[in-house]
Amino acid sequence: MTWLSKLSPDIRQYMIVTGNYWAFTLTDGALRMLVVLYFYGLGYSPIEVAMLFIFYEVFGVITNLVGGWLGARLGLNKTMNIGLFLQIVALSMLLVPADMLLVPWVMAAQAMSGIAKDLNKMSAKSSVKLLVPSDAGGQLYKWIAILTGSKNALKGIGFFLGGVMLSLLGFQGAILVMAIALLVVWILSLISLKKDLGKSKGKPKFTELFSKSKAINYLSAARLFLFGSRDVWFVIALPIYLATTFGWDHWYVGGFLASWVIGYGFVQGIAPKITGTKNGQAPDGRHALMWALELSIMPITIALSLTYDWHSSVILLGGLMIFGVLFAINSSLHSYLIVSYASDDGVSLDVGFYYMANAMGRLVGTVLSGWLFQEYGLAVCLWVSAGFIILTAIISLGLPVAQESVKKQQQAS
């Protein structure tokens, strides 16, 4: 442990924040897969399964907006620990006997989990801004990429664990294991996380929840449609399509989606190399526009193959992999841009507003995923996905093309 004591305090705090984020993400991914597969196996329709996640996404929207304000007033250490605790509560709610797992109860547990997830994510992303020197844009991009990429890789492992634990331990056995593990992480976080990390110098007013920055507003709108474009076919429609049309069992569905998300997270982690930033130059709005346009090609291609039944299985699986690579780059670029655009004092306010838009996109995508798949099939979900990505590209035209312009906006606001 001597090597740990030699690290700078900021690096140690970054490791603690990342560790908390990793642990939470494993339970979040596993819980998502457990709920989808378990309740669909009980005979729930796709739209009914989607409805179980409504409060998860709705409260994610509210939490990101209010959570940023709380983070600025209380400190990011407190909001992160509150998030861990609420996830333990959410998991504990699902330990009731099977005959008590009624829709309203499960929706309430998912609401708690949604609050927990976005408090944790907002706290982690905001913390990195404060642990990297303000003039080190390239380094900030790398740290954000590592944090986001590793998180999504672990979420993929969580998907796989969810499918495996459902098969081996049953629903409640899997929930119990996760609750105990997260309780240990929460206790360690209470002891080791730095006090008042990210606490604003002033007391931000509740009316400051909404961003006054044009760059952040444009980026938030682009993020909404970007994540809606993924979840409209990935969250509900795809797992059920693989289980019904392909006849895959829990292991195969969970394993395949886990592999996708792990690969997606790996690409996010190396996005600074893929986007070709040279001499420490960080990306700007032009990169976001270009990569969004490239992403739009994939859902169109897959939708055409399904519509005309042309090598649909091969193109679906192969296209999903390419979509994952391109989506990971888009997501990583956005994650860097929001932290870069955010002001240093009260960073969680800007980051919270941005992830509120992210959660809104997930909400819209989740609802549409269940409804469109049930009524029209997977191909229509993909056409809607393509439309959302094109909207993302159009909105990205309003993003600044140089970091200097963003700084001027921050100073002006």
Question: Which CATH number covers residue 215?
Answer: 1.20.1250.20
Name the nearest CA neighbour of 72 among 177, 257, 199, 162. Answer: 199
138 pLDDT more than 50: yes
Say what the pLDDT of residue 413 is.
45
Q: What total number of domains does the chain contain? A: 1
Residues 6+ apart with CB under 8 A from 327: 226, 230, 264, 295
Residue 25 domain boundaries: 8-195+208-412
3 pLDDT more than 50: no
CA dihedral sign, ordered 181, 187, 190, 192: negative
How many whole angstroms separate alpha carbon 164 and alpha carbon 221? 37
Q: Is residue 97 in some structural domain?
A: yes
327 pLDDT more than 50: yes
Task: Enter the DSSP assignment of 277.
Answer: -
- Provide the mean pLDDT of the chain: 79
Residues 6+ apart with CB under 8 A from 355: 64, 68, 118, 121, 122, 125
pLDDT tens across 48-98, in order?
Answer: 787 787 778 788 778 777 766 676 667 777 888 888 999 999 999 989 888
Q: Is residue 3 in some structural domain?
A: no
Spell out a b/e string for 11-20, using b for 16 or more CB atoms within 10 Å of the CB, else e.
ebbbebbbeb
Query: How far, in whole angstroms, is CA 240 from its chain's centroid?
Result: 21
Alpha helices for 75-102 (secondary structure H):
76-93
Say what the pLDDT of residue 380 is.
94
> Locate tokens 């159009």: which residue?
394
Q: Is residue 318 in some structural domain?
A: yes
406 pLDDT more than 50: no
Q: Is residue 54 in some structural domain?
A: yes
Q: Is residue 24 in some structural domain?
A: yes
Q: Is residue 201 in some structural domain?
A: no
How many whole angstroms separate alpha carbon 321 and alpha carbon 263? 8
Say what the pLDDT of residue 152 is.
72
pLDDT tens across 275-305, in order?
Answer: 765 555 667 778 889 999 999 999 999 999 9
Q: Is residue 203 in some structural domain?
A: no
pLDDT tens across 364-379, in order?
Answer: 998 898 889 988 999 9
Other Cβ atoms within 10 Å of 86 Cβ, number: 21
389 pLDDT more than 90: yes
| Residue 37 buriedness (CB in 10 A; 0-12 / 13-18 / 19+) | buried
Q: What is the band of 1 on the pLDDT scale with cuts at 50, 70, 90?
A: very low
Is-above-0.85 flag for pTM? no
pLDDT tens across 238-263, in order?
Answer: 888 888 888 887 678 777 887 887 88
Q: Is residue 287 in some structural domain?
A: yes
Amino acid identity, position 331: S
